[in-house]
Each structure stands twice: as C-alpha cells, then as structure tokens.
C-alpha cells in the first residue's frame, strides 16, 4: 500500500466530501448534519467553503499531489446549497488536483431540494451522477421515516434527475414499520420505471444516535423484502453487485467500490471518513470543531485514525471484497496479503459456512445471493480468525 510521504507523481485517489447541512434530521439518520430549517446561513456556508479550501491545500501539501478517480459529495443534504454556493464548491473541488482521470462524481440530493438549476450546473461541470434519497414511494412509510417529501415529490425529482442526463441512483429503504411486500414492490418498480440505472436498498436500522431510536418502534424482519429485491431486480436487468447495491451493467458506483477494495479515499469536510495507505481516519466531528481545526491547519488528522495490523487489514480486505460480486480475486489477494492468508480464509469459508452460501472457482471466491443475506455472520466468523 501507499506511503505517507509526499510524492512528485499525482496519486489516483477517491474523494469523499461531507456537506453538513440539512433541513431537518430524519428519524433514522445517524450521520452528522446541522438541521437548519430552511436554507443554511450564507455566512456559515462561506466559512465552511473557506475551511474546505484550506483542508484541500493542507492535504495537497502533505499527501498530494492527487489525480482524482472518483468523487462523492454526501451529507447532510448537498442539494440544499444555493446555486452560487454550488458554483463556489465546484471551484474549490477543482483545486484538488488532476481531474482528467475522473471517472465518476456523485452528488447526493434530496427530492425536496433537487432543482433544475442545480442539475444543469452539475451536468455542465465534472459531476456525473446523482444519488437521490427517495427511500420509499409510499406516503405512509415516508411519514414513519420522518422524511419531508411525499411520493409525488420524489417521483418528480426522479424524473428531473433522469432527464438531466446525469446517471441516477435511488436509495430505497426496507423494513419500515408498516411496510408490506406489496408496497416495497411498488416502490421498487416505480423507481425503475422512472429510469434510474442504480438502486441502493438499505434495511432500516437505528443506530443509538438516530433520533428515532428513542421511540424505537418494532422493526419488521427485513428478510422477505431483501429476498424479494434479490429476486426482482436482477429480472429487471439490475445485477446485485454488492450486498446493498444493484445496478445495470456498467452503472456500478466506482466510488463505493473503492471502499470495498481497500483503495485510498480522501476525507473532506466535518465528520467525513477517509482511508489512506492503511490508515482509516475521521475528520473533526462537528462543523464547529472543523472550522476550529481549519484555523490551526488540520493538525489532528492522523491522530484520529486507526491503523490495523497487517493481518487485520487482510481479513478486512477479504470481508469487504466478499461484499461485492467480484469477491476475493485469488491472484490479487494473494499478491497483497500472501497465500497463507488466502488459504486460511478459504478454509474458513469452506468449513464453517454452508456450501450454498459461497461460490469458489479458479479466479475468485464470491458470496452467493444466500451468502449475501447472512453477510454479517460470515463477517463475524472471519473476524473470529483473530489477530494471532
């Protein structure tokens, strides 16, 4: 893996930027964001953009220069920013480094704030992809989730995104209290009909810091919904290329693949996570702390990180690779982590995991659809191989 010394040649990296503003916290959300009611305060956004600029400069100085492979602007609600702020943001991002190899640049958007002016701007810039937080196309379920949009708004936003010519992905949630297989099917098929090329299907889970976890409703068993998605989406040409992601051939998210392939990801913005040469690190947790650190030149980046032992990294690499349909590539994995580790992992998967969950061939080891359904248990088992 890479080293931490500055090098003269641009290093190809993925970049995650966190935009920490939203209108209101959704009940299930455990990401960091500042609920600002309407539009975020101009002056605060200006400070944020200024700090971002400083962070990019600091990163280029220590780890750069970079050539950017993929970019992901997440939140919060990035689409909440005004057109002018977006213009500034794109300028700031362009200062990261060489964008000539940029393969994919995604922005997360909320159906309520996805405006024509923004999609046009993105289309004319280096952005390539919109990830729209649809979550459900059932008004009752959207209310349970505490979303501010209704199904109608979501469908209109989907249409706007698709029409803009940007690749469009939709996030959908299953396992919502009150959800039925019928309503899930409707959400899936309406989303497909809108013309998306990518769907992320997440089960509703409540982290302890999510607002809804206090009221902790009984969550339904996600199994039937997940199983149905695994059955339905491939029939519509959407391959399950990762445990929670389905895409038409060629529309997989390259940025997300970087996480699962243990590739370098730079973190920008408050509460963003990065991965750099084996170091997984986290930025300052709140906007306030982030602005404070910007004034001091971002001194703490490495101290908030965690560097796993070589062995633990290898096990994690296997776990992440197994999440994807490409699985563990034998040759590549052995080259990176050694043959003994590959054998050990293979032995575990052959002996401790039911045979219908794993598929072995000469090039790779992958999870089957059934294996993906019990991914956590397999993950836990692999972790059990331990550090020793």
Partner 1 sequence: MKQENIRNFCIIAHIDHGKSTLADRLLEETSTVEAREMKTQLLDSLSLERERGITIKLVPVRMDYVSRDGQKWVLNLIDTPGHVDFGYEVSRSLAACEGALLVVDATQGVEAQTVANAYQAIEQGLEILPVINKIDLPSAHPEEAKREIHDVVGLDTDDALLASAKDGRGIHEILEKIIEKIPPPKGDPDAPLQALIFDSVYDNYQGVICYVRVVSGTLRTGQNILFMATQSSNSVDEVGVFRPSFTPVESLGPGEVGYVVAGVKTLAEAQVGDTITDARNPAPSPLPGYRKVKSVVFCGFYPVERDDYPQLRDALEKLCLNDSAITFEPETSVALGFGFRCGFLGLLHMDVAQERLRREYEVDLVATAPNVVYEIETKTGELIEAHRPSDFPDFGAIEEVREPYIRLSIFVPSEFVGRVMQLVQDKRGEYRSMDYLTPERVRLVYEMPLAEFIIDFHDRLKSQTRGYASLDYEFIGLKPSDLERVDILVNGEAADAFSFICHKDAAYHRGHAAVTRLKELIPSQLFEVPIQASIGKRVIVRVNVKALRKDVLAKCYGGDITRKRKLLEKQKEGKKRMKQIGKVSIPQEAFLAYLQVENKD
Length of the chain: 388
Query: Which is nearer to partner 1, 159 or 285 (by Cβ)?
Result: 285
Answer for the pair 179, 201: CB distance below 8 angstroms, yes or no: no
**Which residue from 98, 27, 373 is spatially nearest to 221, judged by alpha carbons?**
373
> At 37, is the secondary structure helix, strand, or coil?
coil
* Secondary element (H or E) of residue 115: none
CB of 74 to partner 1, least distance (A): 9
CB of 370 to partner 1, least distance (A): 9
Give the whole-angstrom CA distance, residue 119 versus residue 130. 9
Query: Which is nearer to partner 1, 296 or 376 (by Cβ)?
Result: 376
Query: Which is nearer to partner 1, 19 or 118 (by Cβ)?
Result: 19
**Which residue from 242, 81, 264 is spatially nearest to 169, judged by alpha carbons?**
242
CB of 28 to partner 1, least distance (A): 11
CB of 226 to partner 1, least distance (A): 6
CB of 273 to partner 1, least distance (A): 3
Is it true that the peptide bond before 76 is cis, omega within 30 degrees of 0? Answer: yes
Query: Which is nearer to partner 1, 124 or 303 (by Cβ)?
Result: 303
CB of 37 to partner 1, least distance (A): 27
Query: Which is nearer to partner 1, 150 or 346 (by Cβ)?
Result: 346
CB of 240 to partner 1, least distance (A): 12
Answer for the pair 109, 79: CB distance below 8 angstroms, yes or no: yes
Q: Which residues bind partner 1 (CB under 8 A)?
A: 16, 201-203, 205, 221-223, 226-227, 243-244, 256, 259-260, 265, 267, 272-275, 280, 282, 306, 316, 320, 323, 352-354, 357, 372-381, 383-384
Query: Which is nearer to partner 1, 21 or 226 (by Cβ)?
Result: 226
Query: Which is nearer to partner 1, 331 or 370 (by Cβ)?
Result: 370
Helix count and strand count (H, E) for the chain: 14, 18
For strand 34-35 and strand 21-22, is the pairing parallel, antiparallel, or unpaired? parallel
Residue 133: both structure tokens together: 């937080």
Give the whole-angstrom CA distance, residue 290 versus residue 174. 34
Answer for the pair 260, 324: CB distance below 8 angstroms, yes or no: yes
């Amino acid at each position: 893996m890479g080293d931490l010394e500055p090098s003269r040649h641009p290093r190809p990296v993925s970049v995650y930027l966190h935009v920490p503003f939203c209108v209101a916290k959704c009940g299930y959300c455990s990401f960091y964001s500042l609920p600002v009611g309407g539009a975020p305060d101009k002056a605060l956004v200006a400070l944020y953009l200024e700090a971002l600029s400083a962070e990019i400069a600091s990163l280029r100085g220590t780890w750069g220069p970079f050539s950017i492979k993929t970019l992901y602007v997440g939140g919060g609600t990035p689409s909440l920013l005004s057109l002018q702020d977006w213009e500034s943001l794109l300028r700031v991002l362009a200062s990261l480094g060489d964008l000539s190899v940029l393969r994919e640049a995604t922005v997360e958007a909320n159906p309520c704030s996805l405006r024509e002016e923004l999609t046009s701007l993105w289309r004319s810039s280096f952005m390539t992809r919109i990830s729209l937080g649809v979550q459900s196309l059932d008004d009752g379920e959207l209310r349970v989730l505490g979303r501010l949009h209704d199904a109608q708004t979501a469908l209109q936003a989907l249409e706007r995104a698709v029409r803009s010519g940007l690749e469009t992905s939709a996030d959908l949630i299953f396992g919502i209290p009150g959800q039925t297989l019928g309503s899930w099917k409707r959400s899936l098929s309406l989303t497909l009909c809108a013309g998306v090329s990518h769907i992320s299907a997440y089960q509703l889970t409540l982290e302890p810091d999510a607002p809804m976890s206090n009221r902790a409703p009984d969550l339904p068993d996600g199994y039937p919904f997940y199983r149905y998605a695994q059955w339905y989406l491939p029939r519509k040409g959407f391959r399950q290329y990762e445990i929670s992601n389905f895409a038409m051939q060629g529309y997989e998210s390259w940025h997300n693949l970087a996480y699962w392939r243990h590739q370098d990801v730079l973190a920008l913005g408050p509460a963003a996570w990065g991965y750099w040469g084996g170091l997984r690190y986290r930025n300052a947790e709140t906007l306030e702390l982030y602005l404070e650190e910007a004034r001091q030149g971002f001194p703490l980046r490495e101290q908030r990180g965690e560097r796993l032992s070589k062995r633990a990294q290898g096990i994690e690499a296997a776990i992440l690779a197994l999440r994807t349909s490409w699985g563990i590539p034998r040759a590549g994995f052995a080259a990176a982590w050694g043959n003994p580790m590959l054998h050990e992992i293979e032995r575990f998967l052959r002996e401790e995991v039911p045979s219908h969950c794993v598929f072995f061939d000469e090039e790779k080891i992958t999870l089957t659809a059934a294996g993906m359904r019990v991914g956590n248990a397999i993950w836990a088992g692999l972790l059990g191989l331990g550090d020793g």
